[in-house]
Amino acid sequence: MRSLKLYGKQDIRFEETEKPRIENANDVIIKVKAVGICGSDISRYNKLGPYVEGMTFGHEFSGEVVEVGAGANNVNVGDRVAGCPTFYCGKCESCQKGELARCESLTVIGARHPGAYAEYVKLPAENVVILPDSVDYDTAAFVEPSAVVVHGFYRTTMQPGAEVAVMGCGNIGLLAIQWAKIFGAKKVYAIDIDDEKLAVAKEVGADVLINSLEKPAHEQILEHTNGTGVDVAIESAGSPITSAQVFALPKKGGEVVFMGIPYADINIERFYFEKIVRNELTVLGSWNAISSPFPGKEWSTTVHYMSTGQINVKPIISHRLHLRQGPETFNKIINREESFGKVLFYPELG
Query: Is residue 333 assigned to a domain?
Result: yes
pLDDT digits (tens, 9 = 90+) for 116-168: 999 999 999 999 999 999 999 999 999 999 999 999 999 999 999 999 999 99
26 within 8 A of 125, measured Cβ to Cβ? yes
**Residue where a domain stops, chosen among 259, 285, 311:** 285
pLDDT-derived band at 236 (thresholds 50, 70, 90) equals very high
**Residue where a domain stops, chosen among 233, 256, 285:** 285
Query: Is residue 64 assigned to a domain?
Result: yes
pLDDT-derived band at 263 (thresholds 50, 70, 90) equals confident
Is the same domain home to 269 and 246? Answer: yes
Query: Is residue 226 assigned to a domain?
Result: yes
Query: Is residue 303 assigned to a domain?
Result: yes
Paired strand residues for 123:
28
Query: Is residue 210 assigned to a domain?
Result: yes
pTM over 0.95: yes
Is the same domain home to 209 and 170? Answer: yes
Is the same domain home to 16 and 29? Answer: yes
Domain holding 203, by residue range, is: 156-285
φ/ψ (deg, to 5) at 167:
-100, 105
Angle between helices 171-182 and 143-154 (to 10 degrees): 50
Is the same domain home to 281 and 300? Answer: no
**Residue where a domain stops, chosen among 236, 264, 285:** 285
Query: Is residue 338 assigned to a domain?
Result: yes
pLDDT surpasses 80 at 49 = no
Is the same domain home to 260 and 322? Answer: no
Is the same domain home to 21 and 116? Answer: yes
Query: Is residue 151 assigned to a domain?
Result: no
Question: For the chain, what is the domain count?
Answer: 2
Mean pLDDT value across the chain: 96
Q: Is the dihedral of CA 126, 128, 133, 134 positive or negative?
A: positive
Q: What local confidence, expressed as pLDDT, does residue 290 receive? A: 98
CATH number for the domain that contains residue 323? 3.90.180.10
Three-state SS across 223-286?
A: HHCCCCCEEEEEECCCCCCHHHHHHHCEEEEEEEEECCCCCCCCCCCHHHHHHHHHCCCEEEEC
Is the same domain home to 9 and 46? Answer: yes
Is the same domain home to 298 and 242? Answer: no
pLDDT-derived band at 43 (thresholds 50, 70, 90) equals confident
Is the same domain home to 54 and 108? Answer: yes
CATH number for the domain that contains residue 209? 3.40.50.720
Please give the distance of CA 249 from its chain centroid, rounded to a whole number.
23
Query: Is residue 40 assigned to a domain?
Result: yes
47 within 8 A of 263, measured Cβ to Cβ? yes
Is the same domain home to 83 and 24? Answer: yes
Is the same domain home to 13 and 108? Answer: yes
pLDDT-derived band at 233 (thresholds 50, 70, 90) equals very high
Residue 205 region by backbone torsions, left for phi larger than 0, else alpha for psi between -120 and 50, else beta: left
Is the same domain home to 24 and 139? Answer: yes
